Chain A
Amino acid sequence: MLHRRGVAAWRFTRRKPLGALGFLIVFITVLAALFAPIITFHDPLIADFTAIKVGQSFNHWLGTDEFGRDLYSRIVYGARVSLIVAFASIGMGTTIGAILGIFSAFIGGRVDDFFSRLTDIMIAFPGILLAMAFITVFGIGLWNVVWAIGISFAPPALRVARGATLSVKNNVFVEAAHAVGASNMRIIFRHLLPNVLAPIIVVASVQLGSAILIESALSYLGLGVPPPAPSWGRMLAGSVLVHATTAPWLVIFPGAAITILVLGFNLFGDALRDVWDPRLRGR
């Protein structure tokens, strides 16, 4: 089993080197976030007024900010916030969307019409505005941010799950399951879900990058995960531009961190989509 997975991974790397690179970026970021206390040498929150805005050195790999906090430590710890928000919001949004989509296609009729119209409207609505409206009502906080971002990812998952269910639900094996007296629940979870899982995973992985971008934008606007947890978006907010005229690394590195992680997610997601969804190959 392990051997077969190894072979599959190797074939993926051969066919989609950029996708493998994307996976590597994400994998390294996840490791860095997990082992942040081991691979950093300064507390990301403790100010050091003897080392304000010092440049890159052996002690401070990426320099320090206007409070003398180590930028490298802050970026490594910031990965935690970005990754938690991205995975949790995508997981939540995709699960809700997928379940609604399968049920919507399975039930059909007016229920299906209703969900399809709702999806059309919500997809057209920019995720960041939806998230801002949500934050306005429920306030800031880690889980509110997760929900705020997650709801805008439910509609695409709903649409994909609905389409996939529609294409498999008329197969003979579903009819056979009906004939032997399987309940609707059993048909949905044992026969439909496994068949629509691949496109759902693809749509989730393609959107992880957008979730990171929305999270960083919310943090930048002061509507994201509240302080003191270091977050990449907030590191670019406030008076950073004033300080950046003498210490440009304060703007360069946090943004580069966002870009690299989003790039990793996008490359991996696109490759996964190409491999699992042959209709879209080469686009």
Chain B
Amino acid sequence: MGQYILRRVIIAIPTIFASTLVVFLVLRVLPGDVALFIALGTDASGVASEAAIEAIREELGLNRPLPVQYFVWIGNALRGEFGESAFTHRTVAYEITSRLPLTVQLAVMGQILAFAIGIPLGIVSAMRRDKAVDTISRFWSILFLAMPQFWVALMLLLFTSRVFNWSPPLGYFLLWEDPGNNMLQLGPAALVLGVGGAAIAARMTRSSMLEVLGEDYIRTARAKGLMAGAVIIRHALRNALIPVISLSAVTFAFLLAGTVILETVYAIPGLGSLMLTSIRTRDYEVIQALVLISVVVVVLLNLVVDIVYAWLDPRISYS
């Protein structure tokens, strides 16, 4: 097991290296003149002077050969130095760390809700296959997979404001500083995320559960007279949840993407809204840092899931 983990980690290193190289090439080299890009972003008039462009080129080291640029960039990123926002003039590291808690909290709350609703629904659905419960739960899944999340959020906002005359508070509230406002602000967004994620979780749990229920060992367990509940929980569920948990990285990535849009709808000052503002103001240093971080997070999530999967499922050989 230890060796297996070690090998997975060693494989992940070139993957991370390769993906950072892709980010570097796509965001730095492809757009042509990044200096012009940033100069246009800083200058409100929309015209950049030659001197300003040259100064930025010098500052970012764009005159140096590409491999040198890459290693300087990645070296700085490893030390957490992502440069300075062209828009707010605060460091990118500050911008990100001040917003990170909100986005992580939102995604985690969404994931918990998704599993809390989706997994029981999937189990019941599989056990009562083609009965009313199953039909309703599948219809609900199909419907929620078809609705754009920002629309569900808008409808919820519209509903609460028309019926209860209430909208979530606006501002910057951390969980440990102002838990009340924090939950009121993030609650509705987490609910929308969770309900959407639950549709995916229910679908996965149902299909995985159906597969396991058809296995021989379930018949054996029933035949030797175990109670239905024991069969479901001890024999079926334990095996059925393995693929669901291993796919939770996919749902988590889906939730992270959802936060970009929901933070915009609810005006939550998290990483998603930072990304959007940066794209609008062409705040290049911030965009690069955010894309780099999300790529690394995705690769690491995959790594964690591979390891958890091997740990949960004894059928997987570590060789």
Q: Which residues of A are at the interface with B, using a C-beta cutoff of 8 A?
A: 117, 120-121, 124-129, 132-133, 135-138, 209, 213, 216-217, 220-223, 233, 236, 240-241, 244-245, 248, 251-252, 254-255, 258-260, 262-263, 266-267, 282-283
Question: Is A121 a contact partner of B19 (Cβ separation < 8 A)?
Answer: yes
A233 / chain B contacts, CB cutoff of 8 Å: 148
Q: How far is the CA of A120 from the CA of B306 in the complex (A)?
A: 12
Of B148, B264, B299, the contact of A213 (CB 8 Å cutoff):
B148
Beyond A124-B299, A266-B146, 10 additional pairs, beta carbon < 8 A: A124-B250, A124-B253, A126-B253, A128-B261, A136-B27, A245-B158, A245-B161, A259-B151, A262-B148, A267-B142
State the CA gap A216–B148 with chains docked (Å): 8
Bound form: Cα–Cα A258–B154 in Å: 14
Contact with A along B30-58 (1 / 0, CB 8 A): 11000000000000000000000000000
- Tell me the bound Cα distance from A11 to B250 in angstroms: 36
Measured between C-beta atoms, what is the minimum distance from B30 to chain A in Å? 6
Contact partner of A127 (CB less than 8 A), chosen from B18, B149, B256, B257, is B257
Surface stretch bound by A, among B1-9, B74-82, B273-281: B273-281
* B184 within 8 A of partner (CB): no
| B148-165 interface bits toward A, Cβ cutoff 8 Å, 1 = contact, 0 = none | 111100110110011000
Contact: A251 with B27, CB < 8 Å? Answer: no
B284 closest partner in A (C-beta): A136
Chain B residues near A121: list those with CB within 8 A.
15, 19, 295, 298-299, 302
Query: What is the chain B residue whose CB lies nearest that of A209?
Result: B146
Report whether A125 and B148 are in contact in the complex, using a CB–CB cutoff of 8 Å: no
The reply to whether the CB of B207 lies closer than 8 angstroms to some CB of chain A is yes
The 7 A-B residue pairs whose C-beta atoms are closest, nearest first, are A126-B257, A255-B151, A283-B207, A262-B146, A263-B146, A128-B257, A259-B147
Contact yes or no, B147 A255, CB < 8 A: yes
Interface string of B261-301 (1 = CB under 8 A from A): 10010000000000110011000000100010011001101
| Distance between B206 CB and nearest chain A CB, rounded to angstroms | 8
Tell me the nearest residue of chain A to B23, going by C-beta: A133
Contact of B260 among A129, A260, A283 (CB under 8 A): A129
- Could you list 26 A-B pairs, sorted by A, with CB under 8 Å? A121-B15, A121-B295, A124-B250, A124-B298, A124-B301, A124-B302, A128-B261, A129-B256, A129-B257, A135-B279, A136-B27, A137-B27, A137-B30, A209-B145, A209-B146, A213-B148, A220-B261, A221-B261, A221-B276, A236-B151, A236-B154, A241-B154, A251-B151, A255-B155, A260-B146, A262-B147
Q: Distance in Å from the Cβ of B268 to the closest Cβ of chain A?
A: 14
Q: Please, how many angstroms separate the alpha-carbon atoms of A135 and B26 in the complex?
A: 11
Task: Tell me the B residues contacting A by CB distance below 8 Å.
Answer: 15, 18-19, 26-27, 30-31, 142-143, 145-151, 154-155, 157-158, 161-162, 207, 210, 249-250, 253-254, 256-257, 260-261, 264, 275-276, 279-280, 287, 291, 294-295, 298-299, 301-302
Summarize B's interface: helix, strand, loop or mixed: helix
Q: Given the complex, which residues of A lie within 8 Å of B280, measured CB to CB?
A: 222
> Is B146 touching A132 in the complex (CB atoms < 8 A)?
no
Report which of A125, A209, A241 forms a contact with B157, defined as CB distance below 8 A: A241
A217 engages B301 (CB within 8 Å): no
Taking each of A129, A251, A260, which has the highest tally of chain B beta carbons within 10 Å of its own beta carbon?
A129
Asked if residues B154 and A255 are in contact (CB atoms below 8 Å), the reply is: yes
Nearest residue (CB) in B for A255 is B151
B41 smallest CB distance to A (angstroms): 12
Distance in Å: Cβ of B88 to nearest Cβ of chain A = 18
Which residue of A has the minimal Cβ distance to B249? A124
Chain A: CB-nearest residue to B250: A124
B23 to chain A, nearest CB (A): 8
- Point out the residues of chain A lying under 8 angstroms from B249, CB to CB: 124
What CA separation (Å) do A244 and B265 show in the bound complex? 14
Q: CA A283 – CA B30 in complex, angstroms?
A: 42
Q: Which of B15, B149, B294, B301 contacts A129 (CB 8 A)?
A: B294
| Nearest neighbor of A127 in chain B, beta-carbon distance | B257
Q: CA separation between A136 and B155, bound complex, in Å?
A: 29
Name the residue among A121, A135, A258 with the largest chain B CB count within 10 angstroms.
A121
- Expressed in whole angstroms, the minimum distance between the Cβ of B297 and any Cβ of chain A is 10
A282's nearest neighbour on chain B, judged by CB, is B210
Partner of B145, one of A127, A135, A260, A266: A266
Distance of A126 Cα from B287 Cα, bound (Å) = 16
Nearest Cβ in chain B — how far from A157, in angstroms? Answer: 17
A272 to chain B, nearest CB (A): 15
Contact residues in B for A120 (Cβ distance below 8 Å): 302
The answer on a CB contact under 8 Å between B142 and A258 is no
